[in-house]
Every structure is written in C-alpha cells, then in structure tokens.
Structure 1
Amino acid sequence: MQIQVNTGSGVDNTESLQRWASEHLSETLARFQQDITRIEVQLSDENSGKSANADKRCMMEARLAGHQPIAVNHHAETQDEAFRGAARKLLHALDHSLGKLRDHHRDRDSIRKDEPTGVVPGAAG
C-alpha cells in the first residue's frame, strides 16, 4: 500500500509528516492492506494563515484494486485533528464498502450441504 501526502498553502510537507502519516494509516487500515493499492492525502489550510474555526482540511482517497476509489474529507481546528478525523471516516467508508462486498460473497449457497445432526449418510433408519 503506497501512501502519498500532498499539502496546500499554509501546510508544510516534511519528511516526518510523510513518515507519521504512512505509519498511522498503515496501522489504522491494516486489515484492508490487500485491497488498497494507494492512498492519497491532501492537507490544506483553507484560510491560509488567518485564524478560524475548522479551517484545516484533510482529504483522503483510497485507490482499491478492482473497485472504485473511496474519498473522504474532514475539517477541524488543527492539522492533526483533520488528519485523524479523515482517517476514521476512511476506515468507516472502507468497512462499509468492502464489508458489503465480503458479506455478499459469504451469503452465496455452498455446493456442499451439511447433514442434519444425528443422521448418518447411507444408514437405513
């Protein structure tokens, strides 16, 4: 799973930010590792230097193997809160989307049928 962090005006893109974001997302989304090919993160300060409530924005888009991408946004007062909020939203969206697909595959009837308890196949009764 490749993780790419991009920043807009008012947000510094440092190597430590990239490393922290990659570690956090790898841990948070570990169970979807086989499904996700790439995650793009866009951090921005919508008021660029002016102080305002919830002016930090984080957009995350997960690219999935064989499926449409899933994107989420989160606004918060700090860059950290925006990132963590978007990560939670992405986890929920992946749970919802990929969980439905997995449940659909599990609900199919099996060729193999279980024998009722106490019945021995081929025994006359």
Structure 2
Amino acid sequence: MTIQINTDKNLNGEQRSADFFSSQIAEALQRFDAHITRVEVHLKDENGSKDGFNDISCLLEARLEGRNPIAITNQADTMESAVKGAIDKIKTAIESILGKIQNH
C-alpha cells in the first residue's frame, strides 16, 4: 500500500509529520492491505492563516483493487485530530464495502 501525503501552503508538511501520519494510516489499515493499492491524504487549512474552529480539513482517498476509490473528509482543530477522525471514517467505509463483497 502506497501512502501519499499532500498539504496546502498554509500547513507545515515537514517530513516528520508525514512519516508520523503515514505510520498511523498504515497501522490502522493494515488488515485491509491486500485490498488497498494506494491512500492519498490531503490536508488543508480552510481559513488560511486565521484561527478558527474545525478549520483543518483532512481528505482521505483509498483506492481499492478493482473498485472505485473511496473518499471521506474530516474537519478538526488540529492536523492530528483531523487525520485520526478521517482514519476512523475510512476504516468504517472499507469494512462496509468489503463486508458487502464477502456476502455476495
């Protein structure tokens, strides 16, 4: 599974943060590794340099083998919270899709 992290110009996308988020995503989606070919993460600050409530947005797109990509978004006050919420949502979506495939 390939994990690519993209940030907008208002967020600090340093390598240490990218490695941390990549390891979190890889660990959380490990049991789906055989089905996922690629995960793209898009982090952006909705308000730019202004402070705001839930202004960090995380879009996670998982590409499942032989299926259309799944995309979810989550907003929070921090990058860490936004990514964690997005991981929880994408896990639920993947479980649902793979569960439906197994039932058929």
Q: TM-score, normalised by structure 2?
A: 0.96
Offset at residue 17 of structure 1 (A): 1.5
Q: Which amino acid aligns with 1:66?
A: G
- Structure 1 residue runs of 5 or longer lacking an equivalent are 105-125
In the TM superposition, 1:1-125 aligns within 5 A as 1-104=1-104
- Structure 2 residue runs of 5 or longer lacking an equivalent are none
| Distance (Å, rounded) in 2 between the aligned partners of 1:103 and 1:10 | 44
Higher RCO (CA-CA < 8 Å; seq separation 6+): 2
| Distance (Å, rounded) in 1 between the aligned partners of 2:9 and 2:22 | 21
Rg comparison, structure with higher value = 1
Moved >4 Å (runs of 4+): none
Identity of aligned residues (%): 39
SS at match of 1:34: coil
Q: What's the C-alpha RMSD, in Å, of the aligned pairs?
A: 0.8
| Distance (Å, rounded) in 1 between the aligned partners of 2:92 and 2:78 | 21
Q: Which has the higher strand share?
A: 2
Q: TM-score, normalised by structure 1?
A: 0.80
Aligned length: 104
Offset at residue 9 of structure 1 (A): 2.5
Q: Which has the higher helix share?
A: 2
SS at match of 2:47: coil
| Distance (Å, rounded) in 1 between the aligned partners of 2:64 and 2:88 | 17
